[in-house]
Structure 1
């Protein structure tokens, strides 16, 4: 897999492979592509650092790692810190730790290339201290605030590689991360309230968030962009779901036809059976029997 590290003093580069975009990935990255909000994110994680400015922030985001599925990423440098944040959106799985480690390894590799350092040199490498975070926007209760690689995968035994990943979930704080998590949950709730009407669900979620002063400035400034991002993603998700359903249904029809054949039913009896079981027309049933009878 080809990966490229991006460093930019202004914004995260646009990824042109739309097939790899996901809703909250896009909103997450879109939100924090603005230095104003990225600084707020950093200050939420390090409130003790009162002197950080937008000029201190440098994006470090990989193009091809952790972009697919429900795991999304953001990487940036500030001082001697390398901050990597991965968003887990739906069902919780500790595999996110491995993804964070993979992301970190690739980021370090590209960092050494960019800074012209060699791992084969006799000079000790100079690289920023990593911090790994998972931003969880799903509904499961995650008890642990810090995940250890060795504990989750090797029963706490000492192994050659260790990694600590801090888990950020919804809280009573009013910082930018907490607001984003609340925003994501409100979006999910509205989707359930308006199934099949993505645009209404999104616009209603944005209205609620603005009324509650949740990401208000960002949503007022980029509302149309946010709606477009999310509606596009929902359309992709729904298309995938329909494809899966259609493939499952096709498999069920095939199985029914072959079961009729194997149990000695005639073609005519099989057509009649499909008409009753699937509420098909006679023409549709005949086509399905012809399609699968000799397979």
Structure 2
């Protein structure tokens, strides 16, 4: 994390006058673990800030710190939507706790405003990833749909290439690895069905049809799999 006076603070926050604003990435899956991440982000950000501004935490003079404000944009479909979530309340309910942090939750926003458009974009993007995987095609289809629906149209029209690169980059290595594992597991199951079909005397045509029904494959994909493992 790096700090610039009056500018971008890091990937998660920025300075605005005397405040340190955190805008955490949208989550489609609800988890209060975001509170733990926030504590770690905040501690590291303050450490960087103190170093960058040349302040001495071991001296007698009180250091100056920007007031933190923390927001999380949630794009999932969870029915319960609290305005805030608290570290102490979630992890140490009913107990005295010397440490707490409160996160302000942002949901769909008002219809047509920038938050609402952003949330709509992420939902459309997620839908396209489910259909096409994490591919250039998925991102470009999401962008086209959004422009057709007047969602972030002005921004997307002028920055399509940048958005494609950004959305691909935003997937963590863990998510990419999970997708890879699921793909390998699916192919292993397909191979087993093909080999079993051949062993028990099923025709290639019947095996192709079973693959299409079982794994929702296209005709070409099913044919190619049978050719590969028959």
TM-score of the two chains, using structure 2 as the length reference: 0.72
Tell me, yes or no, if structure 1 residue 279 matches structure 2 residue 196: yes
Q: Which residue is equivalent to 1:60?
A: 9
Residues 140-149 or 110-119, more deviating? 140-149
Q: Which residue is equivalent to 2:44?
A: 106
What is the rounded CA distance, in whole Å, between the counterparts of 2:141 and 2:192 in structure 1? 42
Q: Find the partner of 1:7 among 4, 7, 11.
A: 4
Q: Which residue is equivalent to 2:206?
A: none
What is the rounded CA distance, in whole Å, between the counterparts of 1:174 and 1:109 in structure 2? 38
Unaligned runs of 5+ in 1: 9-56, 62-72, 253-273, 283-295
Unaligned runs of 5+ in 2: 200-230
Tell me, yes or no, if structure 1 residue 222 matches structure 2 residue 159: yes
Q: Which residue is equivalent to 1:195?
A: 132
Q: Which residue is equivalent to 1:270?
A: none
Q: Which residue is equivalent to 1:128?
A: 66
What is the rounded CA distance, in whole Å, between the counterparts of 1:113 and 1:58 in structure 2? 17
* Secondary structure of 1:147's aligned partner: strand
What is the rounded CA distance, in whole Å, between the counterparts of 1:84 and 1:197 in structure 2? 27
For residues 241-263 of structure 1, what are the alpha-carbon distances to aligned partners after superposition, in whole Å with 9 as ceiling and x for unaligned?
A: 2335537987x9xxxxxxxxxxx
Asked if 1 retains the 8 angstrom alpha-carbon contact of 2:3 and 2:48, the reply is: no
What is the rounded CA distance, in whole Å, between the counterparts of 1:206 and 1:248 in structure 2? 29
Task: From the superposition, tell whether residues 226 and 118 of structure 1 become closer, same or farther in structure 2 (CA, over 3 Å).
Answer: same
Q: Find the partner of 2:92 among 154, 158, 161.
A: 154
* Secondary structure of 1:84's aligned partner: strand
What is the rounded CA distance, in whole Å, between the counterparts of 2:35 and 2:134 in structure 1? 35
* Secondary structure of 1:5's aligned partner: coil
Asked if 2 retains the 8 angstrom alpha-carbon contact of 1:137 and 1:181, the reply is: yes
How many residue pairs match? The answer is 197
Asked if 2 retains the 8 angstrom alpha-carbon contact of 1:83 and 1:131, the reply is: yes
What is the rounded CA distance, in whole Å, between the counterparts of 1:133 and 1:197 in structure 2? 27
* Secondary structure of 1:172's aligned partner: coil
* Secondary structure of 2:64's aligned partner: coil
Tell me, yes or no, if structure 1 residue 170 matches structure 2 residue 108: yes
Asked if 1 retains the 8 angstrom alpha-carbon contact of 2:87 and 2:102, the reply is: yes
What is the rounded CA distance, in whole Å, between the counterparts of 1:173 and 1:128 in structure 2? 32
TM-score of the two chains, using structure 1 as the length reference: 0.57
Q: Which residue is equivalent to 1:207?
A: 144
